[in-house]
Chains A and B, each alone.
Chain A
Amino acid sequence: MSARFRVGEPVSVRMGHSFGHVRTPHYVKGKRGVIERICGEFRNPEELAYARDGLPKRALYRVRFEQTHVWPGYTGTPGDTVDIEIFEHWLRPANGTER
C-alpha cells in the first residue's frame, strides 16, 4: 500500500466541512497529532455511505492527540491522549501550509 505519512510523523487534521457520512470527528478538526500506526487501506466511507464503491481505497491511520491540546481546560493529566482513526485525505503535514 502507499501511505503518505510515517509512524511518528506530526500531522494536523484538515478543517474541511463534514457533508454527508464523514468519519473524522469534529472535535479534532484543525488539531495536531502524531501518527501512531498505519492501519492499512480501506474503502472510503464518505462514498460507501451513498452506495458507491468507495474506491480507490484510502490509507487509514491512527493518530494520537494530546488531550490538553484537543480540549482547552482539560482537567486530566498532561500525558493523557486520545487516539483516533483518520483517513489520509483528512490529514496534512503538521508544519506544512497545504490545506
Chain B
Amino acid sequence: MSADSHGHDHDHTPPPDQDGPLTYHQTMEIAVRELLLEKGILTADEVRREVEKMDSRSPEQGTRVVARAWTDPAFRERLLADGTAACEELGIDMGPTYLVVVENTEAVHNAIVCTLCSCYPRMLLGLPPDWYKSRNYRSRVVREPRAVLKEFGLELPESVVVRVHDSTADMRYMVLPKRPDGTEDMDEDALAAIVTRDCMIGVAVPRTEVMA
C-alpha cells in the first residue's frame, strides 16, 4: 500500500469552499469595517467581541421568561404590558430592543415574521434560523399562515384565531406559548425545558411527551 492509498478509493479532492464571489453588500460591509478600523473608531478585537456576543445568545433566555410567566401571574401581566421591562427584571440585557409579547390562549394562536427583512428578538432567542430569513417563510406565513404552520406540523382548529405579527419597524416580538395541560406539578426549570425556539416564534407549541 502506497502512502497515498489507505484502503479506499476516493480521490481526496477537498469539498469546494463556500466562498463564492462577494456580493455587493458583503463588499460594502468589508469596506465600511476596514474604514472604521483604519480611522480608529473601532478595533478589530471590539468587532470580534460583538460577533462573539451575538453568536453566543440562545433561546435559553426566552425559555426562562416563558417559564416565569407560567408560574408567576403578576410577572405574566407585567410581561404582556411591557416586555422589555419584564425581561430586564430577570437580568436579561435587552439593549435598545422594544419587546412586544403576544400570548397564545385557547382562542388565539400567534406567529411572528418579518416580511421586509429578518427582524428577530435576538436578545431572547439568539440568531434566527435560516428558514425564518427565507423568502418562502416570509412571503407565505403572512398570507397563508395555517398552511405554513401545518407544514411545521402544527394544525390549528378553525375555532382558534391565527394572528400573524409582521415586525416591520421598531418592535420585536416573542410568543408566550400556552402552558400545556398536565404540567401543574412541574417547577420553573422543568417548564423552561419544554419550551423551544419554535414555540416562541409561534410555529410550534410546547409538548410534554418525551421525544424519541
- The answer, yes or no, to whether B118 is at the interface (CB within 8 Å) is no
Interface string of A19-38 (1 = CB under 8 A from B): 00001110100000000000
Interface contact A23-B145, CB-CB below 8 Å: no
Interface contact B142-A27, CB-CB below 8 Å: yes
* Residues in chain A near residue B144, CB distance under 8 A: 74-76
From 164 to 190 in chain B, residues with beta carbon under 8 angstroms from any chain A beta carbon are 164-171
Interface contact B170-A39, CB-CB below 8 Å: yes
Task: For the complex, count residues of B whose C-beta is within 8 A of A.
Answer: 23
Q: How far is the CB of A22 from chain B (nearest CB, A)?
A: 9
* Residues in chain B near residue A67, CB distance under 8 A: 145, 162, 164
Interface contact A82-B169, CB-CB below 8 Å: no
From 72 to 90 in chain A, residues with beta carbon under 8 angstroms from any chain B beta carbon are 74-77, 79-87
A25 to B161 alpha-carbon distance, docked (Å): 22
- The answer, yes or no, to whether B33 is at the interface (CB within 8 Å) is no
A24 to B160 alpha-carbon distance, docked (Å): 28
* Residues in chain B near residue A10, CB distance under 8 A: none
Tally of A-B residue pairs with Cβ under 8 A?
Answer: 75
A6 to B71 alpha-carbon distance, docked (Å): 34
- Indicate the size class of the contact surface on chain A: 20 to 34
Chain A residue nearest in CB terms to B165: A83
From 3 to 56 in chain A, residues with beta carbon under 8 angstroms from any chain B beta carbon are 23-25, 27, 39-40, 42, 45
> Which 9 residue pairs across A and B have the least CB separation, nearest first?
A85-B169, A79-B161, A82-B164, A80-B162, A84-B166, A85-B168, A42-B170, A76-B146, A23-B169
Inter-chain pairs besides A27-B115, A80-B161, 5 sampled, C-beta below 8 Å: A25-B168, A27-B142, A39-B170, A60-B169, A86-B168
25 A-B residue pairs with Cβ-Cβ distance under 8 Å, sorted by A, are A23-B116, A23-B168, A24-B168, A25-B116, A39-B170, A45-B169, A60-B171, A67-B145, A74-B144, A76-B146, A76-B162, A77-B158, A77-B161, A79-B161, A80-B145, A80-B146, A80-B161, A81-B163, A82-B165, A83-B166, A85-B167, A85-B169, A85-B170, A86-B169, A87-B169
